[in-house]
Structure 1
Amino acid sequence: MDAPVTGRDAIEDIEIQLLLEAVYKRYHYDFRYYARASVKRRLLQARQQLGFASISGMQESILHDPAMLPRLLNYLTVQVSEMFRDPSYFRALREQVLPHLRTYPSLKVWVAGCSNGEELYSLAILFREEGLDQRTIFYATDINPEALKVAQAGVYPLDQIRNFTQNHQKSGARSSLSDYYRADYGRAAFDAGLRERVVFSDHSLVTDAVFAEMHLISCRNVLIYFDRDLQDRAIGLFRESLARKGFLGLGSKESLRFSRHADAFTDFIREEKIYRRNET
């Protein structure tokens, strides 16, 4: 017989595993294979800020009170981004990827893990500046319904706009960011026209399947929160989703290097973590 588990950390680990199982079985949100250290840090923060004495107390609440789910999702899903984040990535798309995409009569672009929508609007503006917006359908997906609502609204605090504007200019902008939003009451509301060719949808890289053939997938700073097996699943999903010679963009700290799907891609712009799907 195994010795009984002792120690606060070990007990918390059991509580977290049980909580993640409860969330999955009750609501079908699967965080069981997210990087455990990151999940633990965020759940301990949630326990403290939501006023629970223990993770087990939070589990009881999530099982019996559906209103707790969106509150917990705000901790389990990371909603930190900015428009044109890492401007050199968007410049690389503009100068080296879009010339290839321009050869297609119609385009499909998937922003996977779109969070509050900053990356979606960055791409929509970039494609408009390059004259490709009217032949492009954008798919913006996330597992957090509250984040999707923010993305659909396209309204951001005005104090973020200065940073957004600087990033936009560094990305090789052909216009002013102010052309795309209206400032009012401390907020910046982005042009509804940027959303007219966008499909917003709940989609999980953990449990859901391919839904369309894409020419560009941008999934940045999402895989770092997954364990190795889940990273492989997501990359396999991108592989299946991409058209031949389609493009995949990852975050600056992410890579295909250790994925079993790595042979399906070639480095297109290595320093920007932009890959191209092989023809075969």
Structure 2
Amino acid sequence: MTATDHDRELEGLELDLLLEAVYRRYGYDFRGYAQASLRRRLWRRADLEGLRSLSGLQERILHDPGCMERLLADLSINVTAMFRDPGFHRALRSDVLPELRTHPFVRVWVAGCATGEEVVSVAIALREEGMLDRTRIYATDMDADVLARARTGSFALEKVRDYTRNYISAGGTEAFSAYYAVAGERAVFDPELLRPVVFAQHNLATDGSFNEFNVVLCRNVLIYFGRDLQDRVLRLFDESLPRRGVLALGRKETLRGTAIEDRYEPVVEAERIYRRT
């Protein structure tokens, strides 16, 4: 075995022990995450903490909950935007909401909601379709800090110009500026949009199904998971959807080749929107 092979094997052992320590000490399970991305994020945290090994990071995390909080922020996937991928939101309006309009009550689960941009986007579409007052939106994430930010319904004002363009491209029917008020450097959205939203901590890697939903949105989250964890999460969503329930993934994600593929039909394949058959 070469020195490089030895170093790689040692790093792999340190990585496994670190993830096991995080799981057993704090209950967060990152053991099924895609290794390359995970390794980069862990080394970045080690560098920022002034540490020279993943074993050093493990010791720091076990004895310093503040370090764990900082690591959790590093590992949480918080890249998001309002009406991100406008084509998806346009398809949601044209191909999903019309059927749901016939239901007396609708439940939507936004899994991995991060700081809430997609939650507010969905709420706006539901209001414009006359459905928000009979919909309950469950917005979940494993990170309590990002959930706290999501509950505020406020976003950086500098991003609103891009969000406005996305909203128009997504088929918005009102003046986007009517939905928010400016407070300093923040755009604070109408609190009525979040009235039907339940925010809660939920870890896709370890937690189970908690309700039955008409729509489950989990977009651009599975790409960060390894194949076994992807399969686990997809089975979780499958358990949470009734017949004709809708599952929406990100554009780089698909049901093709998965264990639940044969139970779903594409609604809009290009936008990764599927319906349970």
TM-score, length of structure 1 as denominator length = 0.95
1:69 aligns with 2:73: no
CA contact (8 A) 2:141 2:203 kept: yes
> What SS does the aligned partner of 1:71 have?
helix
Measured in 2, the distance between the counterparts of 1:78 and 1:49 equals: 19
Which residue number in structure 2 is paired with residue 17 of structure 1? 16
Letter in structure 2 aligned against 1:209: G
Structure 1 segments unaligned to the other structure (5+ residues): none
Letter in structure 2 aligned against 1:227: G
The Cα of 1:187 is off from its aligned counterpart by 1.0
What do you get for the CA RMSD once the two structures are aligned?
1.5
Please list, as runs of the form range in 1=range in 2, the aligned pairs for 1:233-252 lying within 5 A after superposition.
233-252=232-251
Measured in 2, the distance between the counterparts of 1:51 and 1:4 equals: 25
1:151 aligns with 2:112: no
Which residue number in structure 2 is paired with residue 206 of structure 1? 205
Give CA-to-partner distance per residue, 1:142-165, whole Å, 9 cap, x none. Answer: 001111011111221111111111
Please list, as runs of the form range in 1=range in 2, the aligned pairs for 1:135-174 lying within 5 A after superposition.
135-174=134-173
CA contact (8 A) 2:116 2:153 kept: yes
> What SS does the aligned partner of 2:56 have?
helix
CA contact (8 A) 2:95 2:267 kept: no
Give CA-to-partner distance per residue, 1:76-106, whole Å, 9 cap, x none. Answer: 1111110000000000000111001111000
Percent identity for Structure 1 against Structure 2? 49
Measured in 2, the distance between the counterparts of 1:269 and 1:189 equals: 32
TM-score, length of structure 2 as denominator length = 0.96
The Cα of 1:6 is off from its aligned counterpart by 5.2
Structure 2 segments unaligned to the other structure (5+ residues): none
Measured in 2, the distance between the counterparts of 1:156 and 1:14 equals: 40
Measured in 1, the distance between the counterparts of 2:104 and 2:225 equals: 35
Measured in 2, the distance between the counterparts of 1:144 and 1:218 equals: 18
CA contact (8 A) 1:39 1:76 kept: yes
Measured in 2, the distance between the counterparts of 1:176 and 1:15 equals: 53
Measured in 1, the distance between the counterparts of 2:88 and 2:76 equals: 23
Measured in 2, the distance between the counterparts of 1:5 and 1:90 equals: 48
Measured in 1, the distance between the counterparts of 2:257 and 2:44 equals: 31
> What SS does the aligned partner of 1:212 have?
coil
Measured in 2, the distance between the counterparts of 1:77 and 1:15 equals: 21
CA contact (8 A) 1:84 1:168 kept: yes
The Cα of 1:74 is off from its aligned counterpart by 0.8
Which residue number in structure 1 is paired with residue 38 of structure 2? 39
Measured in 2, the distance between the counterparts of 1:50 and 1:150 equals: 25
Which residue number in structure 1 is paired with residue 121 of structure 2? 122
Between stretches 52-61 and 211-220, larger displacement belongs to 52-61
Give CA-to-partner distance per residue, 1:112-151, whole Å, 9 cap, x none. Answer: 0001111111101110111100000000000011110111
Measured in 2, the distance between the counterparts of 1:196 and 1:3 equals: 60
